Amino acid sequence: MHESIPWLPMVARILMAIFCGAAIGIEREWARKGAGLRTMILISMGATLYMAVSELLGIHAKVPYDGSRIASQVVVGVGFIGGGAIIVGRGRVFGLTTAATIWVTAAIGLIIGLGYPFFGLLVTGIVLAILILLRWVEQRFIPHRAIKPDLMEDDDRA
C-alpha cells in the first residue's frame, strides 16, 4: 500500500456516499420508481470514487493538475443516465424528477468525494424533504396531480 494515500478518509467517504445514496434510493423505492436503492447507491458511490481518484491524481501528479476536470465529466456522464430515465409519451413527459434525482445524487457523491461528507448528508436531507414533502403538497393542492388513473400518468415513473 502506498503510504501517502489517505485510506481511512477515503473509506469514510465511500461509506457516507453509500449511506446518502441508500437514503435517497429507499425513498425512490417507496415511491415505486425504477431508479431505486441500488441505482442511487451506485451513482453516489461512483461519483465519490471519481472525485477521490481526482484527488489522488492531484497528490501524485508530477505536473500541475486540475482536479475539476474529472468532476465535470461526471456531471456530463450522469446527464446521459438521467436522459435515459426521461420518457415522452401520450403527449406528456415522464421521468423528469427521477432524472433530477439521479443528477443531484451524483452531486452529493462529488461533494462527499471532495471531503465534505456532512455537507453531503445535509443535502441528502434536503433532497428527501423535497421528494417526500413536495409530493404530499402536489397531491393535495395541485388537482391534476391527485388523480392518476394509469401508472404511466405519473410524471416521474422512470
pLDDT at 60: 80
70 in a domain, yes or no? yes
Please give the model's pTM, rounded to 2 decimal places: 0.85
Number of domains forming the structure of the chain: 1
Range of the domain at 101: 7-153
Q: What is the pLDDT of residues 97-155, one digit of tens each?
A: 999 999 999 999 999 999 999 999 999 999 999 999 999 998 888 877 655 544 444 45
DSSP 8-state code for residue 151 = G
120 in a domain, yes or no? yes
Strands (E), 19-147: 87-89, 92-94
2 in a domain, yes or no? no
97 in a domain, yes or no? yes
Q: Which residue has the cell 465535470?
A: 72
pLDDT at 68: 86
Q: What is the distance of C-alpha 132 from the center of its chain? A: 16
Spatial distance between the Cα atoms of 151 and 34, rounded to a whole number of angstroms: 12
1 in a domain, yes or no? no
Q: What is the pLDDT of residues 48-97, one digit of tens each?
A: 999 998 988 888 877 788 888 889 999 999 999 998 899 888 888 889 99
Helix axes 96-113, 117-141, angle to 10 degrees: 160
119 in a domain, yes or no? yes
